[in-house]
Amino acid sequence: MESSVEKKRFWTVASVFLMLSLGMVMAVSFWEYQTYSQRYNEKINEICLEIQEWYPEVPEYEIMRILDSDGAADHNFFLKYGIDLNRDSVILQNERDFRKHLAVNVSLFLLGAMVLLSAILIKNRKRQKQLIQISRYLKNINQGDYSFHMEGSSEGELSILESEIYKTTIMLKEAADQSRMDKERLKDSLSDISHQLKTPITSLMINLENLEDHPEIEPEARNRLIGNAKRDTNRISRMVQQLLTLSKLDANVIVFRKEKVSLSKIAEEAMENVAALSELRDISVLEEAGEEANTYITCDSYWEKQAITNILKNAIEHAVSQVIVRYRNCELYKEIVIENDGAPISEADRKNLFKRFYSGENSAKDSIGIGLSIANAIVKNDGGYIVVESDETTRFIIRYL
């Protein structure tokens, strides 16, 4: 679009310059014609007066007939005096005027050519300067310098090129920043994983070494060490599975299959997943269904069930006696509310709840700190978000847009 505007502008300027040049040439040509005609007519008039004076018997109409006739002139008369009608002017003043007019024409031509050449040279110099500038910025980009301070170009093609370079620079800078953030995140994750795995692995090794070093150990003590080893193994296995899930979510390799599903169906299946835990901790999980339980959302039901399961598990671990699940259908969103009657969550903990490996004030001893992070990532992939409110009770509100 911009290139088309520049071309139109160029042709407009060229057309105006051509018209002005043509007008100047026509004006000079008309001036030449007027000068020659005036000089010629004055000389003819002088000759006619002389003829009338010398030959009064020659009628005037005969003189005019000769002047206006289309007959061919006889060259022989003037050749006697060294004048060629096809080459020379009989009137010497015409020769002088011709040279003067020729000088004016040549001067005008040279002036126009110089103006045009100067304009082309200035334009090319400016274009060359901009190309050098663009080349320098591309070199800087290749060296990892994404600062972009290029002056705007009036040239259509160069302006388009600058715009594309700017877009590319922004994309490369974002990619570089993202890569740097990914490396930092990977570094932190590896550090956290190492720290999280260190404790259960150390505990497992100690228990196994005790079994190996004391084969004569009493059955009760042996069973206790084996139980501890199984607990550590289960914890390591659970942690590895959750880390793999979180890594897949981070890498966007999980394909979410969207389907229309009932909120109550997702919640009921999630409650079945935590039934054993709720019985073990003697926590009742109640569902306040009502008419809004029939609300449908579009999501991946399998992964959404995993997210709700993780949030329910967290609620049960922090509840005193009960967890309540209710639904709400609003004009702008649908939501599931998971409420527990445990101790309120501090403001500092609420800000960090969904960070991986974060352990709050009231976290369980065997908590890995990944479950809520996984739940948050899944809900976001399904176009939702999680709000946490905590006063007399704690409420995890999962809203789907």
What percent of the chain lies above the pLDDT cut of 70?
72
Q: What residue ranges define each of the domains in the chain, with the CATH number in brackets? A: 2-142 (no CATH), 158-251 (1.10.287.130), 259-400 (3.30.565.10)
Dihedral through CA 41, CA 42, CA 46, CA 52, nearest 10?
Answer: 40
- Say whether pTM exceeds 0.75: no
Q: What is the mean pLDDT of residues 368-381?
A: 82
Kindly tell me if the per-residue pLDDT of 85 is higher than 70: no
Kindly tell me if the per-residue pLDDT of 72 is higher than 60: no
Kindly tell me if the per-residue pLDDT of 327 is higher than 60: yes
Mean pLDDT score across all residues of the chain: 76
pLDDT the model gives residue 76: 61
Q: Could you read off the pLDDT of 298-317 as tens digits, one per residue? A: 888 888 888 899 899 888 98
CA 84/CA 90 separation, integer angstroms: 8
Band (104; pLDDT cuts 50, 70, 90): confident
Kindly tell me if the per-residue pLDDT of 2 is higher than 50: no
Q: Given CA atoms 188, 250, 328, 313 in this order, what sign does their dihedral have?
A: negative
Band (364; pLDDT cuts 50, 70, 90): low
Q: Could you read off the pLDDT of 250-292 as tens digits, one per residue? A: 766 777 788 888 888 888 888 888 888 888 889 898 888 776 6
Whether 267 contacts 336, CB under 8 Å: yes
pLDDT the model gives residue 150: 56
